[in-house]
């Protein structure tokens, strides 16, 4: 430091620090790193029996959390988010004047909250910061002798959805909610159940207490653009599945957490008396005027539990939660618990037991024979697993429709596309918001369950042109000439050479001895804001074409090929099977291309039963495959095809990697991912 000062003396300047102690003090004042963990203890404070006191009444419970106020300030001050943050509510319309909703500040709720805050003259000009909470009790993190914990996550509504889904730092682990345990003797004790519910709400209230003063008084916070602004916090949303919604809203299991519809009439058949929404004021009125039994039986209210939102201004737990519970009510409820079980019951109803079991075995073989696809879970044993998870249900519904066609009547098949389309759309809405299960997956940095293909690529920040590119380095040990490539793929040499000539636009044909470079995959980059994407909606995926996939067999993916860039969706695309990615030098130019086998649509419209297009491989008059060499930039993205099985049983030993070789008709699986759903 002294030497630095001497060097600056000739410039009549001084170093920024007086000495090394001053420099260390400056470094220590920099706020960086993770927010430290804190804890508090909770215990039962209610009446006790004179004798035989339950052990849970004497136990203390530790609750661990990070200061949510500090977490939110770090998010607001993150320079990565400065261009993707909303400061005021807005209403967005398309060119036709129709309202559009995407980010939290584009909705009416944020607008209404700001109107309420604006009634206070002292709050003029402040920025509203809605707090988004989420938890998933199925994601158990820690278990001790008398307590289990599961994670609580926090985000803010100012950050736009594309950023929230692309950056882990927009969603933070803020604490661990506890589940007290006790002896089996007391598990059904009403006192213990009440303690469990109140402990849950009291824990949430204590974790969020540092935000309370900032919900009525403005605080000054430094934002990512370097400017300081006044902010006011508010509880915005709590994302949870239905079982936890019941706990959050203090209602009886089976009742709706959003409205007062009777549990046995959720469709609201009484048109003369409209269903009223639940709200804090109505709950308080019912609790004050009626007895405990009436709360429970007529309104589904558990009135002896105080919701954590009662301790915070402008907060109503019934407004905070989102319906429906996409996982339990739409995916597992509609698909697995209703439709799949319905098919099983139907088969046993109309066939003998032995025949029904044979058909179910064939359905399992059909599911297992589906070709691999990026991000799609495989089922090597079909649907024959004991414990269904949400991922199992969501993955199985993507391949289930073709598997049952031919074994059940057309009317049964037609019910599934509606359910699948609904799940795709609601899944799209879910991914545009905060999904605690996905957040948990990100938090654990790669820990996942199930056999999911891991080559699905990643989110890409920034706006780039949609394209497909080859890796920088070619594959080792693959063909280095057209003759070797033809030999690898068991193709006629003259056919391959002819396609390369066509690709070079009738120029002199390259020599069969020209050096070529084979690539085992291509990387597709495209805009798909409904998939896991970057800040501008960009994502990437890998398209495989290799002779040895995971030391098992060859894998050649299918793709969408753009044939008319002026027409959107399937009208401007064809489907092809990629046999090889390769490149070569010709007349001082390096060409990157793909050798493909064309597929043609059987009909120009979707199949009315399954809701999917049907394609078939094209062949020449002599029975050879209709091949083409196309530029790599004509490929759009990967396509997933599922065989058209018909009403025939498939053989026992059929493998998934030979799916594209053994069938003559295929469905374009529009349910493989959100991007495929938008294209096909």
Residue 347 pLDDT = 92
pLDDT (mean) for 37-57: 89
* Pairing of the two strands 147-156 and 60-66: unpaired
Residue 425 pLDDT = 43
Residue 458 pLDDT = 55
Give 160 or 504, the one with higher predicted confidence. 160
pLDDT (mean) for 166-175: 78
Range picked from 110-119, 283-292, 483-492, 502-511 for highest mean pLDDT: 110-119
Residue 353 pLDDT = 92
| Structure confidence at residue 643 as a pLDDT band (50, 70, 90) | very high
Residue 310 pLDDT = 93
Within 8 A by CB and 6+ apart from 157, the residues are: 86, 103, 104, 105, 110, 129, 130, 131, 132, 236, 237
For the stretch 215-269, pLDDT in tens is 999 999 999 888 999 999 999 999 888 888 999 999 998 888 888 887 677 666 6
Residue 201 pLDDT = 94
Residue 439 pLDDT = 35
Give 83 or 139, the one with higher predicted confidence. 83
| Structure confidence at residue 53 as a pLDDT band (50, 70, 90) | confident
Q: Taking 60 as the threshold, does the pLDDT of residue 42 lie above it?
A: yes
Q: Taking 80 as the threshold, does the pLDDT of residue 290 lie above it?
A: yes
Q: Taking 80 as the threshold, does the pLDDT of residue 537 lie above it?
A: no
Q: Taking 70 as the threshold, does the pLDDT of residue 420 lie above it?
A: no
| Structure confidence at residue 156 as a pLDDT band (50, 70, 90) | very high
| Three-state secondary structure call for residue 643 | strand
Helices (H), 507-564: none
Residue 117 pLDDT = 93
How far does the chain reach from its first CA to its final CA, in angstroms? 66
What is the DSSP annotation of 219-287? EEEE-TTS-EEEEEEEEEEEE--HHHHHHHHTB-TTS-SSB---TT-TT---SSSPPPBP-HHHHHHHH
pLDDT (mean) for 277-282: 89
Give 21 or 520, the one with higher predicted confidence. 520
Q: Taking 60 as the threshold, does the pLDDT of residue 440 lie above it?
A: no
Helices vs strands, H then E, count in the chain: 20, 24
Model pTM? 0.67
Residue 535 pLDDT = 56
pLDDT (mean) for 432-450: 36
- In this structure, of 144-148, 237-241, 373-377, 611-615, the range with the lowest mean pLDDT score is 144-148
Residue 531 pLDDT = 55
| Structure confidence at residue 452 as a pLDDT band (50, 70, 90) | very low
Q: CA-to-CA distance for 203 and 64, rounded, in angstroms?
A: 9
Domain-wise residue ranges, the chain: 1-30, 33-46+53-241+310-321, 251-304, 327-431, 444-679
Give 494 or 437, the one with higher predicted confidence. 494
Average pLDDT, the chain: 81
Residue 507 pLDDT = 42
pLDDT over 70 for what percent of the chain? 80
For the stretch 293-326, pLDDT in tens is 888 888 889 988 999 999 999 999 999 987 665 6
Give 56 or 274, the one with higher predicted confidence. 56
| Three-state secondary structure call for residue 601 | strand
For the stretch 559-574, pLDDT in tens is 999 888 777 778 888 9
- In this structure, of 71-85, 139-153, 331-345, 437-451, the range with the lowest mean pLDDT score is 437-451
Q: How would you class 260 by CB atoms within 10 Å of its CB: exposed for 0-12, middle for 13-18, buried for 19 or more? A: middle
pLDDT (mean) for 63-85: 91
| Structure confidence at residue 633 as a pLDDT band (50, 70, 90) | confident
Q: Which residue has the tokens 């439709």?
A: 339
Q: Taking 60 as the threshold, does the pLDDT of residue 464 lie above it?
A: no
| Structure confidence at residue 453 as a pLDDT band (50, 70, 90) | very low
Q: CA-to-CA distance for 652 and 235, rounded, in angstroms?
A: 56
């Amino acid at each position: 430091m002294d030497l630095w000062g001497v060097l600056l003396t000739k410039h009549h300047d001084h170093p920024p620090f007086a000495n090394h102690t001053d420099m260390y003090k400056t470094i220590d004042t920099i706020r960086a790193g993770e927010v430290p963990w804190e804890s508090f203890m909770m215990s039962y404070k209610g009446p006790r029996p004179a004798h035989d006191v339950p052990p849970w009444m004497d136990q203390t419970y530790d609750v661990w959390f990070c200061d949510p106020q500090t977490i939110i300030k770090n998010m607001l001050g993150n320079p990565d988010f400065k261009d993707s943050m909303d400061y005021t509510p807005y209403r967005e319309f398309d060119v036709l004047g129709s309202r559009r909703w995407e980010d939290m500040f584009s909705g009416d709720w944020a607008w209404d909250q700001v109107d309420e805050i604006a009634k206070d003259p002292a709050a003029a000009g402040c920025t509203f910061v809605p707090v988004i909470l989420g938890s998933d009790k199925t994601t158990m993190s820690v278990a001790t002798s008398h307590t289990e914990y599961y994670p609580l996550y926090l985000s803010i509504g100012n950050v736009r959805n594309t950023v929230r889904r692309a950056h882990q730092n927009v969603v933070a682990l803020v604490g661990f909610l506890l589940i007290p345990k006790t002896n089996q003797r007391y598990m059904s004790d009403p006192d213990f159940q009440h303690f469990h519910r109140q402990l849950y709400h009291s824990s949430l209230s204590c974790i969020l207490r540092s935000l309370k003063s900032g919900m009525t008084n403005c605080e000054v916070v430094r934002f990512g653009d370097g400017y300081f602004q006044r902010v006011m916090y508010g509880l915005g949303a709590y994302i949870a599945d239905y079982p936890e919604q019941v706990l959050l809203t203090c209602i009886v299991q089976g009742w709706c957490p959003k409205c007062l519809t009777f549990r046995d009439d959720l469709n609201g058949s009484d048109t003369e008396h409209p269903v009223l929404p639940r709200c804090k004021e109505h709950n308080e009125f019912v609790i004050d005027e009626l007895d405990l039994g009436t709360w429970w039986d007529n309104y589904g209210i558990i009135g002896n539990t105080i919701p954590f939102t009662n301790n915070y201004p402008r907060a109503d737990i019934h407004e905070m939660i989102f319906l429906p519970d996409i996982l339990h009510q739409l995916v597992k409820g509609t698909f697995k618990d209703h439709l799949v079980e319905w098919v099983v019951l139907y088969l046993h109803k109309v066939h003998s037991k032995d025949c029904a079991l044979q058909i179910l075995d064939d359905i399992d073989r059909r599911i297992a024979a589906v070709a691999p696809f990026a991000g799609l879970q495989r089922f090597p044993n079909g649907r024959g697993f004991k414990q269904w998870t949400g991922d199992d249900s969501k993955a199985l519904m993507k391949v289930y429709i073709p598997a049952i066609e031919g074994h059940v009547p057309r009317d049964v098949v037609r019910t599934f596309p509606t359910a699948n389309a609904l799940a795709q759309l609601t899944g799209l809405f879910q991914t545009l918001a905060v999904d605690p299960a996905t957040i948990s997956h990100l938090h654990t940095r790669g820990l996942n369950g199930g056999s999911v293909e891991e080559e699905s690529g990643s989110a890409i920040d920034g706006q780039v042109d949609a394209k497909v590119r080859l890796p920088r380095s070619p594959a080792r040990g693959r063909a280095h000439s057209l003759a070797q490539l033809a030999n690898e793929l068991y193709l006629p040499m003259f056919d391959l050479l002819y396609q390369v000539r066509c690709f070079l636009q009738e120029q002199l044909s390259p020599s069969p001895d020209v050096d070529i470079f084979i690539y085992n995959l291509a990387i597709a980059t495209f805009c798909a804001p409904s998939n896991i994407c970057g800040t501008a909606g960009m994502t990437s995926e890998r398209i495989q074409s290799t002779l040895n996939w995971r030391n098992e067999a060859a894998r050649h993916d299918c793709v969408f090929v753009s044939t008319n860039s002026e027409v959107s969706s399937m009208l401007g695309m064809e489907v092809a099977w990629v046999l090889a990615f390769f490149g070569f030098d010709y007349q001082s130019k390096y060409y990157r291309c793909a050798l493909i086998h064309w597929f043609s649509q059987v009909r120009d419209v979707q199949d009315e039963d399954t809701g999917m297009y049907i394609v078939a491989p094209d062949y020449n008059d002599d029975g050879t495959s209709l091949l083409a060499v196309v530029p790599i930039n004509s490929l759009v993205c990967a396509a997933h095809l599922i065989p058209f099985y018909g009403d025939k049983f498939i053989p026992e030993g059929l493998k998934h990697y030979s799916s594209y070789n053994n069938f003559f008709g295929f469905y374009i699986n529009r349910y493989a991912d959100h991007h495929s759903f938008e294209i096909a």
